[in-house]
């Protein structure tokens, strides 16, 4: 590892990019791995802030040795013994609030008084009180609640230069906050001093942490505390066997035999002498410290790359789920679109009220009489006006509007119910629908549909007006009336008689053919075909727009999740971190 002060700029840039990607990855959908991977990504970001980036930026900074272990293992008593006087018991340091304690040599203060490492913990300068004052209570009971938002710094000449010791909370504390802080501090360590006892060295919780340490290549020294001299060799041998099985065969073991405490609740210096000498030797050996830092940092970076890849896989799962939910909505509304368009093509709309009003318009003879005498049509329309009666073609328009509106509203409601049902079959969809009645159509939706249909009818009428503006067609179009021709064109659009039977074919289909022939006589066959196609495309576009507006109610719920990094971006970031970290 290069220990020069010049930082590894490409690696730092890759790590910072990866941090931002992980921080921005929210995994909001309820997929199989989302919850666990959110937690893993958050831990990775925290470790980048607390340890990885600070260490890469300051490769020659003092090592941080974190003392961790189970409740009652004797961590604080061990730290006091290593320092040579009480520092961790209640009342030994001001302020007296129980906080994690970081002890360093005075010349190393600059490495820890800033927010270089553990930047989210506030710094509190500790002051040692009279060490001769007897302790009022044991300090290893594990019941004190830590102040998890700050870190007490204490400068002490008895700590070797180039090395700092941090007394962490219990890894199995009854307090969730204490356990979380212990995990955070251990993740920020270059070196673990893991304290266990003769009675608890096989406990599950510490061994899970030791397995994680082995996987990350963290340098670990194990302190076997409170061991009876008669059984020390046997217990140490068994502990060594377990360490070998877990890939920690190289970890040194320091046995601290059970010893009486003095009036300051201090162990005799001889009890921890081998461990103190090991730490002093390490502090004096820059090369050894560099190797430990390189090993731990390399393991942390590899773990970061692995976590980033796993996060990418979780993101890919999110993307797959998101696409699936979108397809469910699209499928439901596409089915509704096909049903509505089919009803405009197979004669369905010419049943019922539309058929009756069309029959009134065509079957009473007024339509055909209008072919013979324009003056008769004008006279009849004037009479209808003074009697307050709408013209027959207007009644056909109204019937078309009403019938088409019913078809659109019914199929849109069915599509919304189908989309909601499909989403509720998916865990991710259930979360997105929480507190929402996505299937309910707005109260004004029928009015919106009716307005769109009327706009379409107006477009058809405008088309007739524009087509009849030429000198050759104006007279014939004027003799029949724009409204009548527009209604005939609408019926022509709907009168492909695939869905009609019996008498309906004769009335609607036959009359539709007559109407089409009339339009062709006025405008020409090509013009009628063009106008029919245009009118149908106009209508289908409006139908698609109305359905898309309702589908958007579902799709917006997904869009509200916001932008997030893609799986490809995360995989690429992991690959860059691996490539740039090869020199570690």
Q: Is the peptide bond before 95 cis (omega within 30 degrees of 0)?
A: yes
350: Cα separation from own chain's centroid: 50
Residue 433 has pLDDT above 80, yes or no: yes
* pLDDT tens per residue across span 162-217: 999 999 888 888 888 888 888 889 899 999 999 998 888 888 888 888 888 888 88
Q: In the chain, what are the domains?
A: 61-284 (3.40.50.300), 314-568 (no CATH)
Average pLDDT over residues 32-51: 93
- pLDDT band of residue 496 (cuts 50, 70, 90) is low
| 565: CB partners within 8 A, 6+ apart | 21, 24, 25, 315
Exposed/middle/buried for residue 508 (C-beta within 10 Å: 0-12, 13-18, 19+): buried
Residue 3 has pLDDT above 50, yes or no: no
| 52: CB partners within 8 A, 6+ apart | 15, 297, 300, 301, 304
Higher-confidence position of 96 and 303: 303
- Nearest one of 114, 206, 119, 102 to 163, comparing CA atoms: 102
- pLDDT band of residue 515 (cuts 50, 70, 90) is low
How many Å is the Cα radius of gyration of the chain?
Answer: 41
- pLDDT at residue 92 in the model: 53
Average pLDDT over residues 62-70: 92
Beta strand 127-128 with 93-94: parallel, antiparallel or unpaired?
antiparallel
- pLDDT band of residue 578 (cuts 50, 70, 90) is very high
Strands (DSSP E) found in 228-307: 253-257
Query: Which residue intervals of 5-105 are DSSP H helices?
Result: 9-24, 34-47, 53-57, 75-83
Cβ neighbour number for residue 428 with a 10 Å cutoff: 20
- pLDDT at residue 149 in the model: 82
Written as six digits, the tokens of 170 are: 């219990």
Residue 299 has pLDDT above 50, yes or no: yes
Determine the Cα angle at 548 with ends 546 and 553, to 5°. Answer: 110
CA–CA distance, 51 with 124 (Å, rounded to integer)? 20
- Nearest one of 264, 21, 272, 30 to 165, comparing CA atoms: 272
3-state percent breakdown (helix, strand, coil) of the chain, nearest 5: 65, 10, 30
Residue 139 has pLDDT above 90, yes or no: no
- pLDDT at residue 358 in the model: 65
Written as six digits, the tokens of 472 are: 């050759």
Chain mean pLDDT for the chain = 83
| 444: CB partners within 8 A, 6+ apart | none
CA–CA distance, 417 with 448 (Å, rounded to integer)? 19
- pLDDT at residue 522 in the model: 78
Secondary structure class of 222 (helix, strand, coil): strand
- Nearest one of 345, 335, 349, 332 to 537, comparing CA atoms: 345
Higher-confidence position of 468 and 53: 53
Written as six digits, the tokens of 194 are: 């893991």
> Which residue shows structure tokens 């919106």?
448
- pLDDT band of residue 517 (cuts 50, 70, 90) is confident
CA–CA distance, 467 with 460 (Å, rounded to integer)? 10
Higher-confidence position of 150 and 104: 104
Average pLDDT over residues 550-571: 93
- pLDDT at residue 236 in the model: 92
Residue 391 has pLDDT above 70, yes or no: no
- pLDDT band of residue 242 (cuts 50, 70, 90) is very high
- Nearest one of 202, 259, 251, 200 to 71, comparing CA atoms: 200
Helices 392-424/525-559 angle, 10° precision: 30
Residue 137 has pLDDT above 60, yes or no: no
- pLDDT band of residue 506 (cuts 50, 70, 90) is very low
Percent over 70 (pLDDT), the chain: 80
Residue 509 has pLDDT above 50, yes or no: no
Residue 390 has pLDDT above 60, yes or no: no
- pLDDT at residue 300 in the model: 93
Q: Spell out the SS3 assignment of 41-69.
A: HHHHHHHHHHHHHHHHHCCCCCEEEEEEE
> Which residue shows structure tokens 């089915």?
335
């Amino acid at each position: 590892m290069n220990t020069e002060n010049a930082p590894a700029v490409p690696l730092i840039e890759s790590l910072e990019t990866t941090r931002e990607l992980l921080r921005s990855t929210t995994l909001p959908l309820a997929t199989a791995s989302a919850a666990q991977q959110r937690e893993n990504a958050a831990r990775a970001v925290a470790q980048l802030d607390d340890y990885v980036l600070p260490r890469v930026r300051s490769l020659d900074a003092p090592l941080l040795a974190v003392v961790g272990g189970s409740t009652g293992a004797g961590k604080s008593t061990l730290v006091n013994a290593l320092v040579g006087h009480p520092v961790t018991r209640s009342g030994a340091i001001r302020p007296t609030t129980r906080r994690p304690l970081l002890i360093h040599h005075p010349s190393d203060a600059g490495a820890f008084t800033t927010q270089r490492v553990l930047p989210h913990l506030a710094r509190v300068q500790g002051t040692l009180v009279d060490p001769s004052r007897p302790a009022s209570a044991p300090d290893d009971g594990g019941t004190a609640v830590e102040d998890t938002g700050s870190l007490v710094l204490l400068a002490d000449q008895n700590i070797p230069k180039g090395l700092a010791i941090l007394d962490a909370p219990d890894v199995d504390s009854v307090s969730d906050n204490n356990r979380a802080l212990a995990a955070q501090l251990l993740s920020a360590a270059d070196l673990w001093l893991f304290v266990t006892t003769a009675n608890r060295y096989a406990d599950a919780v510490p061994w899970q942490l030791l397995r994680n340490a082995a996987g990350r290549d963290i340098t670990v020294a194990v302190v076997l505390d409170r061991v009876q001299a008669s059984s020390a060799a046997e217990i140490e041998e068994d502990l060594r066997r377990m360490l070998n099985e877990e890939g920690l065969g190289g970890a040194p073991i320091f046995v601290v035999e059970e010893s009486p405490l003095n009036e300051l609740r201090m162990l005799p210096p001889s009890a921890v002498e081998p461990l103190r000498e090991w730490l002093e030797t390490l502090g004096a050996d820059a090369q050894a410290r560099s190797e430990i830092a390189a090993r731990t940092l390399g393991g942390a970076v590899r773990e970061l790359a692995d976590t980033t890849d796993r996060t990418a896989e979780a993101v890919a799962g999110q993307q797959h789920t998101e696409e699936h939910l979108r397809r469910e909505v699209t499928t439901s509304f596409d089915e509704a679109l096909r049903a509505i368009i089919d009803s405009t093509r197979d004669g369905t709309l010419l049943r019922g009220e539309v058929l009756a009003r069309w029959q009134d318009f065509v079957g009473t003879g007024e339509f055909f009489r209008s072919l013979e005498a324009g003056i008769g049509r004008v006279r009849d329309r004037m009479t209808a006006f003074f009697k307050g009666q709408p013209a027959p073609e207007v009644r056909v328009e109204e019937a078309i509007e009403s019938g088409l509106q019913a078809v659109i509203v019914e199929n849109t409601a069915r599509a919304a119910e189908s989309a909601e049902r499909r989403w509720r079959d998916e865990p991710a969809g259930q979360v997105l629908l929480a507190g929402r009645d996505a299937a309910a159509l707005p109260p004004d939706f029928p009015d919106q549909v009716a307005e769109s249909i009327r706009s379409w009818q107006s477009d058809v009428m405008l088309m007739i007006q524009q087509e009849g503006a030429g000198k050759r067609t104006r007279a014939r179009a004027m003799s029949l009336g724009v409204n009548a021709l527009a209604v005939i064109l609408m019926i022509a659009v709907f009168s492909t008689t695939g869905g009609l039977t019996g008498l309906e074919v004769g009335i609607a289909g036959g009359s539709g053919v007559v109407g089409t022939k009339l339009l062709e006589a006025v405008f020409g066959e090509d013009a009628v075909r063009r106008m029919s196609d245009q009118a149908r495309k106009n209508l289908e576009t409006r139908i698609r727009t109305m359905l898309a507006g309702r589908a958007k109610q579902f799709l917006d719920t997904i869009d509200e999740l916001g932008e997030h990094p893609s799986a490809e971006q995360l995989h690429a970031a992991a690959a860059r971190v691996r490539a740039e970290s090869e020199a570690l």
